[in-house]
Structure 1
Amino acid sequence: MRRISLMLLCLLGLPLAGYAQGVTTAALTGTVTDERGDPLPGANVVAVHEPTGTQYGTTTQIDGRYALLNLLPGGPYTVTVSFVGYQTRRETDLMLPLGQTRVLDFTLAEATVELQALEVVGVRSSVLNSDRTGARTNIDETTIERVPTITRSLADFTRLTPQATGGFSLAGRNNRYNNIQIDGATLNDVFGLSGTGMPGGQADAQPISLDAIQEFNIDIAPFDVRYNGFTGGSINAVTKSGTNRLSGSVRYLGRNQNFVGDLKTPDGETVPFGDFSEYTLVGNLGGPIQPNRAFFFVNAEYQRRKTPLDVGVQGSRAATIFPVALDSLNRIIEIARTRYGYDPGGFDPLSNGTDNFKLLAKIDWNLAPNHRLTLRHNYVNADKDEGISRGTFSFDLSNRRWIFESVQNSTVLELKSTFGTNLFNEARLVYTRIRDKRTVKAQPFPQVSILVNNRYTVNLGIDRFSQANALDQDLWEFTDNLTYFRGKHTITVGTSNQIYRFSNLFIQDYYGAYEFNSIADFEAGRPSRYFFSYSLLDDPKPRAEFTAYQLGFYVQDQYQATPHLSVTVGLRVDVPLYPDKPLYNPAVPEAFPGYSTATTASGNLLWSPRLGFNWDLSKGARTTQLRGGTGIFSGRTPFVWISNQYSNTGVDFGRVDARNLPEGCFVPEPDPAAQPRPGTPLGTTCGLAPITTTEVNLIDEDFKFPQVWRTDLALDQQLPYG
């Protein structure tokens, strides 16, 4: 506890330095000298972002160095350098990629000397750049427009980096170990249920419209300590902004079954593809609220897809046939309706629908020459039909359908400030709210699986894992980088803070799940197997609710050792905290001495030292560079694993898994209180003895979040002939 208090004290003592895992800016540095190579202190350097008219200005220090930080990524920029008694120099059409520092040196001639040519030494390549150390791929707006994409996802573009494999995997790690940032806001599925690694993935939705993205970086080993929260890769993106010119776009993408080939049945007959449609409508609009001062940008996207389930019953012309006689299917439906009062639906062809709507709104405001404010909100509302699975050996009746619903809201407030000529601050506050749930549209009913002809299975009722399933996530983030530029040193001090709040409802077999060995057993109410979970607490639907903190602190020095060698040295420490304790089960210490259900892995420090370098072997020409580094990267564990400790203590749920129950033990009611359970008269009749064992999930108090040590070494060479 002492070390946690110490870290919190350090947090309070830091001067507004914060979470920087999502770098949203670019930077420009260099030197200003005269023709003899002597530095010119006090020279004026002004960079103008031409699309918005936003100006950034500074003066050179005693050694002629200057730095412009917190610049808008992209461009083009015009950079002008002036000094009393010297010719003014200007660099135009300069582009600044996201997260990179461009070096731009100027040599000024005396005013009495006739200007022969503009002499500017600038680094234009995103690869041959003194700021580059580890493995990075930059995806700009032009690449986003030109590269084909099927899912309109950031994941489609990761194939442009050599360290990517399928399934959004980077550096050989599962996509749950990536860190995704949009405008500095976390866009991971931090709970870890989505197969895409991003929120909304279970509803087949992307968490942001691709048309709203300006550019993004894919980093595998960024030796800058501001990057963290991953052991796979870091995807860091910024959204588009409005400019002084009012502009917009609208596009439509659509297809239907006429764009899909025909299918063939097992006997070789050709049949048309089922009723299918997919379309996307997306639009952008941006422009000035007040020229050179305030700007807006809005993006909206609507997607709808309807996909057929091309599995039919005997007598249909489907490509795949479920080979159970129609009489058997009709008998099951009739028994459910007349004997048990439940309509299970039918076996007609079905299509699953997917719908999602996205809306992003952004305002950029130049409050003053040295202070710029950005407010951005992203909204996603998605739903997907689920619950129906049909194949050769298993067939679901239509009223098993449920809908996965996902609603996301993410708000970012960011303030970038410059104090004097060598102190820069970037403050960011983020709130993200995600609500996921499985909604049953038909009549609730226990899951029922009926074995037909000792080989095939017919399913009705609600899926056993979806009878009580919902997840609420609230995420607060504070971001602030304080950077001090002095001579050959650029020093950054920071602290990273995230607060997660989870409320997870997951009770499998909440209504119960029954298996029957035959249609006759189903009619008689004689289950061959019975699953049921019930609350042992006063709350009949208890949730796993807990809060987690991720606190991080870091310091870094980017040192220009020589005109051609830069070295970055940094140290970062992260501290996961779990203030909420799971329920205490006194039986656990008795069975497993030294362990407790109330123990959490809280306060374990994660140290991340890093070292990076960049050496221009061409001594200023920037045609050959050697770069690399080594360091430790700390990631997150999917919080669903942590959540299991809060819901599986052995004192919150009782679970039943019984076989070969007698007649009358099938309760066709979506009422958990009516289901057979130990300790009740019906449970005794059904032979359900008191449960003596139960599932318990434990975490060792010394458990640490995952870390990897990465070393990168690269030689970049500019090839001849452009």
Structure 2
Amino acid sequence: MKKIYSLKLLLFLFSFLVFQVHLFGQTNASVSGFIKSASTGETLPGTSVILKNESTGFTDGAVANDLGYYQFKNVALGGPYTITVSSVGFGTEKRSGYTISIGEALKVDFKLSDKNTELNEVVIRPQDDIFAKVSPLGTAKKLGVQELKVLPVNNRSFQDLANLSPQSGVSPSNNPNIGLGGTRESSTGVTLDGMNQRFMMNGGLLPIFTVSIEAVKEYEVSTNNYDVLQGRQGGGSINVITKNGTNTLTGSAFLYNRSQSLTSSQDYLGRQIKDFNINQYGFSLGGPIIKDKLHYFVAFDSEDRSQPISVLSVTDLTTEKAEGISRANLDRFLNILTAKYGLKDKDSQTGLFSVKPASRTYFGRLDWQINKFHKLTLRTNYSSQNSDFSAYASPDNAAVKESYGSHEISLFSTTLSLRSQLSSKVNNELKLQYLKAQRDFIPYSNLPRGFVNIASTLSDGTNVTKTFQFGGNRIAPEKQGEQQLQLVENLYLQTGKFNFTFGTDNLITFTHTLNSNEQGGLFQFASLDDLDNLKPVSYTRLVPLKPESGYSPYLDQTAFDVSAYAQMEYSINPKMNLQAGLRWDATIFNSKPAYNPLVDKVLGKRTDVVASDYTNIQPRVQFTYDIKGDQSSVFQIGGGSYSANIVHWAQLSNILQSGVNLANVVYPSNAIPKPDYPAYRQDINNVPGVPAGAALPPAYVNLIGDNFKAPLTYKANASFKQFFNKMYFVGANVYYAYTTNNYRYVDLNLRDQPNFRLDNEGGRGVFAPVDKVQVAAETNPKVVTYPINYADVTAHPELSRVLALNGDAHLWQKGVTFEGGVVLPNNGLISASFTINNSEDDNSYNCCIARTTYSSGNIADDPRALDVNRGGANTDFRNKIVVYGLSPQWHGFRFGFKYVGISGNPWTPVVFGDITGDGSSLTINNNKRAFIFDPATINANPNATIYEKQVAADLVKLMNNADNTASDYLKSHLGQMAKRNEIYNPFWHNVDISVSYTIDNRIFKNIGKNRLVLQAQVFNFANLLDKNAGKQMVVSSGNQQLLKAMGLDPFALKQGRTIYAYQVNPTFGQLVPNNATSTYQVQLGARYEF
């Protein structure tokens, strides 16, 4: 395998290394303009133009085309830049002082005199170059060195910076991925110096510092860039450009601290915050090795933190409600686990613990100006993090400590570059990157998981039921390894009146991963009594047929993402510019799953088909109208299509779940093994697998569907920006997007039609025969997780679930952003934006395990019916306000702040229990939308059963409960099925501030360029002022269970009616803090610079 792996690597390199090697950070910045005669106004074709970065000595040359138009593409950020133009018979003019920022289209026109042949020099003052300080047109947000230094950036992280974008949504605190405009997180591109930084397995960022902020020159979030260089994205992209050394020796060293004495003493639930401490420290150094020839820049960033985590910490009524269990039942739960399940040291299994992740980031860069035609760059970046109580190896439910795990994560990338000017009309760049990522999840226990439904009466009399977990972890152990090679070739050609771009962007990914998902086994218990009596209601396990160390073998996969593109740019006149291009992308997985003859025979589908899509042709066009010709009033309109990344996990699931690697063991209810956890703790091989002497059960299968394609997004926008007095600006952007071919899994073995329908729930379909659905007990009924057996809903009993990956889901997005601000002297800025957004889809599956498709779109009955499932996307937000600013320095003091206010994520009232049968054997029991029964209708029925009457009484009580944030929704939808994602969590506000004081040569004259910056930052500043402010309130678990199924109503069956018996969740709609420990934190620090 290693030899094959190396051979593929060499073949890839050989096939693309046919040009001189060179790479340059893709900045999307340009410098352009028209050159005319000052006396006649005629254009001057053939005029020579030289662009020079005075800080590094880098130069580039161009010649004005037939229209007198010149352009420099992909200009390196920073400055100051000097532009020198000269023409035979005319004077030479030189303009200097320009600073280039990411995404900027700097326009500099010249009028040359034929009467003055001497050098005419103009110096641009920083305060005059205001366009470099403001984000470009469209829904984009850029941040430069000044913003990164002055603004408070929580945890120095990518995610916190992305929150300043008008279109970034709300992500869970443990989710490193970023959705833009309500789209799937996997549709967001992430690049470092123009090269991919995404972990292709899940299509997002690794949960660590991708790069040190100390090494970031500029940061941009963009959603409406129609350049063909923008690829493998749907919602937008995050682009980061790193710092380089200059002719001036510069450096920094910093130390920041947050500690117990600098934060709130209690969290939002009133629990004491203990052992809290964060130390961030590092340095940077850059300068010349050879002036104007060879420069270096290095940076180191480190973070050591200790922070509290609550693991079933129940001490009073508030924490009972937060955890959903009474103290008495928690004690009983722990006592049973100790006495009968071998749990050790029960007192160490719950309470407040300390998480102590350690993060390190190293960065280095060399820039070599070989000659005036070639520049070589080498950039290397390494990040790592180790942590206990990993948020990414966490249990499925509220759990004891043994169900958690730790993680070890690392990311290494190195990039080599050479930018070449081949002639006055031809520039070329070729980018080559190697990236290696490793993400390992290590469980605290390898035991089978145990789920227990526990009904509690809290100290205030509230009745609650919640699922709790012990034993092992579904996700861990998992070892995800990935290596990438990327090569990008871009050629820029000027011919006549047009500027052309031709290129190709190619990525090959090698994956080597251990996936143990569901292979440890799962016991489920209906109550604490059943747990005490060793009587589970179900046992399931995906049993490896050829195990290695107890799990299925490592999965190996190779995938190719290739592209080609061409673009034309035409400056119609000094005020109008037209850009049009065409891009083609293809994705090819060449690692085939095993062939399963039974699936082919029964369904006519082959499991040995790989995911591939060669059809993504993406036209793009953009028109820019500079109304006054001076960039002060600019209108822009554009549109095009974008092919998004295919998450590699999907194909890995198909390799693993071909039906020949794992046995899908589902024990019948009359033969469930007795849970012997003491024996499992002694030897994990004692965990039940395929029953001795029994035939293999029907296989669970994943495969590629007939209409699989990569997601394709069509988007358009129109934007306008107006500057006043070279100080104030306002703007607006209207946008629309439609995504087709969104991937999701569809069950090919689910019966075509329901077996019967529930008349009292709007005709909801149930796929099992009535006599196969579990009936609720007439006395002391219990909540039933799976009232239906999967064998009773399959079309072909020889097989279990057969999930096919198809590209038939959709997403619709529309909105408008208004912005305004003021550019202050001495690098000061205030910027504000307000966004109205609406993102809808019919399935929000993003990644990773196939069965999670079913938990990504709350349904009525048939998961295949997308047309009735359109609603707010899981990542949708409706409104967002962003205000941030940094003041000019005043007597050494400088102030920075940022405010982000955003509407909460949408959620749906759901039923606990698989009442239709679509999720049985998939461990999906929470994806059916609840029917909101009308108490008046029930009470008017003389034949209403005791269960129905209890539901009516409890719903009335629930709707009158002041703590139920969804009471109005229930009242307005009586007698209807809840719509998908129509209820939104409350609007959330967050304010962070920063104050710094600089000690420099204005105070001490003899210290030269040395300076010391003392800084204080407050994160969640509102909470410092008010202990109840600043918390993000949400309903727990993403969606809320309105009803809990107990089986078919036995009394209604005697009447000839087929309905379910339900319990009403009395805590439905009640809000809890999303992160109870996210109270205010004060950070103090010092930064030395020279």
Q: In 2, distance between residues paired with 1:179 and 1:21? A: 18
Task: Tell me which amino acid in the other structure corresponds to 1:278.
Answer: I
Equivalent pair of 2:93/2:121 in contact (CA under 8 Å): no
Query: Aligned runs of 1:671-710 on 2, under 5 Å?
Result: 673-680=685-692, 690-710=695-715
Query: Aligned runs of 1:412-423 on 2, under 5 Å?
Result: 412-423=415-426
Q: In 1, distance between residues paired with 2:564 and 2:399? A: 53
Change (3 A) 1:708 1:396: closer
Structure 1 residue 712: Cα displacement: 1.7
Query: Aligned runs of 1:290-689 on 2, under 5 Å?
Result: 290-310=290-310, 323-324=327-328, 328=332, 331-332=335-336, 335=339, 346-347=349-350, 349-386=352-389, 396-440=399-443, 444-448=446-450, 459-466=469-476, 468-515=477-524, 527-537=536-546, 540-593=551-604, 595-618=605-628, 620-658=629-667, 659=669, 661=672, 663=674, 667-669=679-681, 673-680=685-692
Equivalent pair of 1:47/1:77 in contact (CA under 8 Å): yes
Q: Does 1:26 align with 2:29?
A: yes
C-alpha deviations, 1:363-419, integer Å up to 9, x for none?
A: 111112111111111111112222699x9x987444444211111111111211001
Task: Tell me which amino acid in the other structure corresponds to 1:408.
Answer: L
Structure 1 residue 568: Cα displacement: 1.1
Q: Does 1:74 align with 2:78?
A: yes
Task: Tell me which amino acid in the other structure corresponds to 1:531.
Answer: T
TM-score between both structures, scaled by the size of structure 2: 0.57
Equivalent pair of 1:198/1:206 in contact (CA under 8 Å): no
Partner of 2:148: 144
Structure 1 residue 252: Cα displacement: 2.2
Alignment length (residue pairs): 687
Equivalent pair of 1:483/1:490 in contact (CA under 8 Å): yes
- Cα-Cα RMSD: 3.9
Q: Secondary structure at the match of 1:499?
A: strand
Q: Secondary structure at the match of 2:690?
A: coil
Question: Residue 56 of structure 2: which of 52, 56, 59 is its match?
Answer: 52
Partner of 2:98: 94
Q: In 2, distance between residues paired with 1:721 and 1:30? A: 20
Q: In 2, distance between residues paired with 1:172 and 1:428? A: 31
Q: Secondary structure at the match of 1:324?
A: helix
Structure 1 residue 520: Cα displacement: 8.7
Structure 1 residue 506: Cα displacement: 1.6
Q: Secondary structure at the match of 2:109?
A: strand
Q: Secondary structure at the match of 1:695?
A: strand
Structure 1 residue 556: Cα displacement: 1.0
Q: Secondary structure at the match of 2:356?
A: strand
Partner of 1:4: none
Change (3 A) 1:624 1:14: farther
Change (3 A) 1:158 1:87: same
Q: In 1, distance between residues paired with 2:71 and 2:481? A: 44
Task: Tell me which amino acid in the other structure corresponds to 2:380.
Answer: H
In structure 1, list runs of 5 or more residues that go unmatched. 1-7, 682-688
Partner of 1:283: 283
Q: In 2, distance between residues paired with 1:212 and 1:515? A: 50
Q: In 2, distance between residues paired with 1:314 and 1:590? A: 55
- More displaced, 280-289 or 533-542? 533-542
Change (3 A) 1:396 1:15: closer
Task: Tell me which amino acid in the other structure corresponds to 2:98.
Answer: L
Question: Residue 722 of structure 2: which of 704, 717, 721 is its match?
Answer: 717
In structure 2, list runs of 5 or more residues that go unmatched. 1-10, 172-177, 457-464, 728-1090
Q: Does 1:228 align with 2:234?
A: no
Q: In 1, distance between residues paired with 2:16 and 2:365? A: 33
Structure 1 residue 258: Cα displacement: 2.5
Change (3 A) 1:114 1:236: closer
Q: In 2, distance between residues paired with 1:119 and 1:446? A: 72
Q: In 1, distance between residues paired with 2:526 and 2:54? A: 74
Q: Secondary structure at the match of 1:696?
A: strand
Q: In 1, distance between residues paired with 2:509 and 2:419? A: 25
Equivalent pair of 2:579/2:623 in contact (CA under 8 Å): yes
Task: Tell me which amino acid in the other structure corresponds to 1:543.
Answer: Y
Task: Tell me which amino acid in the other structure corresponds to 1:198.
Answer: L
- More displaced, 89-98 or 521-530? 521-530
Change (3 A) 1:183 1:116: closer
Equivalent pair of 2:250/2:286 in contact (CA under 8 Å): yes
Task: Tell me which amino acid in the other structure corresponds to 1:465.
Answer: I
Partner of 2:1058: none
- More displaced, 58-67 or 27-36? 58-67
Equivalent pair of 2:627/2:634 in contact (CA under 8 Å): yes
- More displaced, 560-569 or 99-108? 99-108
- More displaced, 359-368 or 56-65? 56-65
- More displaced, 93-102 or 173-182? 93-102
Equivalent pair of 1:25/1:73 in contact (CA under 8 Å): no
Q: In 1, distance between residues paired with 2:24 and 2:417? A: 14
Change (3 A) 1:670 1:284: farther
Q: Does 1:191 align with 2:194?
A: no
Change (3 A) 1:60 1:607: closer
C-alpha deviations, 1:32-51, integer Å up to 9, x for none?
A: 33322344455443222122
Structure 1 residue 571: Cα displacement: 1.0
- More displaced, 413-422 or 536-545? 536-545
Q: In 2, distance between residues paired with 1:638 and 1:300? A: 31
Q: In 1, distance between residues paired with 2:468 and 2:624? A: 64
Q: In 1, distance between residues paired with 2:46 and 2:268? A: 80
Q: In 1, distance between residues paired with 2:428 and 2:220? A: 22
TM-score between both structures, scaled by the size of structure 1: 0.84
Structure 1 residue 79: Cα displacement: 1.9
Q: Does 1:240 align with 2:251?
A: no
Which structure's relative contact order is higher, taking Cα pairs within 8 Å and 6+ residues apart? 1
Q: Secondary structure at the match of 1:169?
A: coil
Task: Tell me which amino acid in the other structure corresponds to 1:607.
Answer: I
Q: In 2, distance between residues paired with 1:135 and 1:691? A: 55
Partner of 1:684: none
Equivalent pair of 1:134/1:612 in contact (CA under 8 Å): no
Q: In 2, distance between residues paired with 1:297 and 1:409? A: 17
Q: Secondary structure at the match of 1:225?
A: coil
Q: Does 1:105 align with 2:109?
A: yes
